[in-house]
């Protein structure tokens, strides 16, 4: 039995492109073979969860059934009640939608028998999709969810494990029709480009920083920490930059693969990264880094909390309101990553960084301190880059290993 994890080795792409060939030929001639696409998706999802991961596959099936019940029960309620629907029913639907993910995140810190696990690869990104659909049903931006299309949306295998996070309406628009031959040839050119760029990022640069350089730098930092804190600081700086490069190239490469395969299938899955290390400030960074996740949190956490607080008049000052909303947004993001101190610190760090950035921008605008030029832009990019890299060092968990396992100064 072939056990292939998404985008982890060249063998996966050989099987994948062979399987997609009939679909590619059909799209070239203006036909979308939906039944064949569904068959390929199920086959590659099966390959993810075969062998020793079969329990995760069973959990995935149960999860999909559960989310169907939540989504379509809420849709039925919306149709039945119209504008008279109750807010508490909507809140209950959202809570029920995120409940499996909350359970998976809490489970590791709860005493339990070894070997029992209720999670599966991709549960976070599926949850983001289901919560988005429930919220947009409430807003009225989604009028009706089709069961078959909803299953295809959730189980779209190029993005099922780690995103990018697509939106239901955008996905349906692509999936409902086959592109013209001219448009599909453009899609193929982008697909090939993203595929090779993904190989460069993940298998060359990601490997170089993550497998070749990072273990050595971490080992030297631990050894230096036992001798002298000053020596540690230089090696720790190397770990910080190296891990940041690894994190970007590995994840950006994975995302490029997902987008590439989507384009081969005639689906324009959104890009996840847009030169994030060229950002001039931390807010711009989050508009460039893991964009589909960042925009999801912006739309469904930050903006929802802001509107709720304004409606209830919880915080009258707009600047204070945005600051609290940033804290809520990034603390939710931190908890989503995991219930460990370094993830919490990472979320708090970015919330404070954006708050400080907003204060500085308002101060600079009010007093007209600095005019934009190439030098100030270079300084802004340099400072932002280092602020971000420091946050990734916290995020990596290396400091946790260093502080709690290495007797510094001895």
Active site residues: 337
Please check whether residue 12 is in contact with residue 260, taking contact to mean a CB–CB distance below 8 angstroms.
no
Q: How far apart are CA 170 and CA 217, in angstroms?
A: 43
Q: How far apart are CA 195 and CA 20, in angstroms?
A: 14
**Reduced to 3 states, what is the DSSP secondary structure of residue 171?**
helix
User: Which residues contact residue 360 at a Cβ distance below 8 angstroms, ignoring those fewer than 6 apart?
Assistant: none
Structure tokens at 279: 């950002």
* Angle of helix 147-154 versus helix 123-139 axis, rounded to 10: 140
Please check whether residue 48 is in contact with residue 27, taking contact to mean a CB–CB distance below 8 angstroms.
no
Structure tokens at 77: 């309620």
**Reduced to 3 states, what is the DSSP secondary structure of residue 72?**
helix
Please check whether residue 3 is in contact with residue 54, taking contact to mean a CB–CB distance below 8 angstroms.
no
Residue 163 zone, left/alpha/beta (φ > 0; ψ -120 to 50; rest): left
> Which residue in the block uniquely carries the two structure tokens 């590439």?
260
């Amino acid at each position: 039995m072939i056990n292939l994890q998404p985008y982890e080795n060249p063998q996966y792409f050989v099987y994948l492109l062979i399987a997609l060939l009939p679909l590619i030929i059909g799209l070239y001639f203006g036909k979308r073979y939906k039944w064949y696409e569904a068959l390929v998706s199920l086959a590659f999802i099966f390959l993810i969860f075969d062998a020793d991961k079969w329990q995760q596959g069973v959990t995935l099936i149960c999860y999909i059934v559960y989310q169907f019940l939540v989504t379509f029960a809420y849709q039925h309620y919306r149709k039945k009640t119209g504008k008279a629907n109750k807010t508490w029913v909507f809140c209950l639907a959202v809570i029920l939608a995120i409940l499996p993910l909350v359970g998976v995140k809490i489970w590791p810190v709860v005493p339990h028998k070894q070997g029992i696990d209720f999670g599966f690869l991709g549960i976070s990104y599926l949850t983001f999709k289901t919560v988005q659909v429930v919220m947009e049903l409430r807003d009225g931006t989604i009028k009706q969810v089709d069961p078959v299309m909803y299953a295809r949306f959730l189980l779209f295998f190029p993005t099922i494990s780690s995103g990018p996070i697509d939106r239901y309406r955008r996905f349906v628009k692509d999936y409902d029709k086959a592109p013209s031959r001219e448009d599909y040839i453009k899609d193929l050119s982008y697909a090939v480009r993203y595929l090779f760029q993904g190989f460069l990022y993940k298998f060359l640069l990601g490997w170089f920083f993550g497998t070749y350089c990072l273990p050595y730098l971490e080992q030297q930092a631990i050894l230096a920490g036992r001798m002298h804190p000053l020596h540690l600081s230089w090696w720790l700086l190397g770990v910080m930059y190296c891990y940041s490069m690894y994190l970007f190239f590995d994840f950006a490469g994975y995302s490029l693969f997902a987008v590439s395969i989507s384009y081969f299938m005639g689906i324009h899955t959104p890009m996840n990264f847009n030169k994030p290390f060229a950002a001039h400030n931390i807010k711009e960074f989050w508009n460039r880094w893991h964009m589909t996740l960042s925009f999801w949190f912006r739309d469904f956490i930050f903006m929802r909390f802001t509107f709720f607080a304004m409606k209830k008049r919880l915080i009258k000052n707009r600047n204070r309101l945005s600051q609290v909303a940033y804290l809520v947004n990034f603390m939710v993001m931190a908890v989503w990553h995991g219930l460990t101190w370094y993830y919490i610190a990472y979320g708090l760090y970015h919330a404070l960084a954006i708050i400080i950035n907003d204060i500085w921008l308002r101060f600079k605008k009010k007093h007209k301190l600095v005019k934009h030029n190439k030098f100030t832009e270079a300084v802004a990019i340099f400072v932002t880059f280092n602020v971000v890299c420091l946050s990734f060092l916290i995020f990596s968990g290396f400091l946790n290993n260093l502080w709690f396992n290495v007797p510094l100064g001895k």
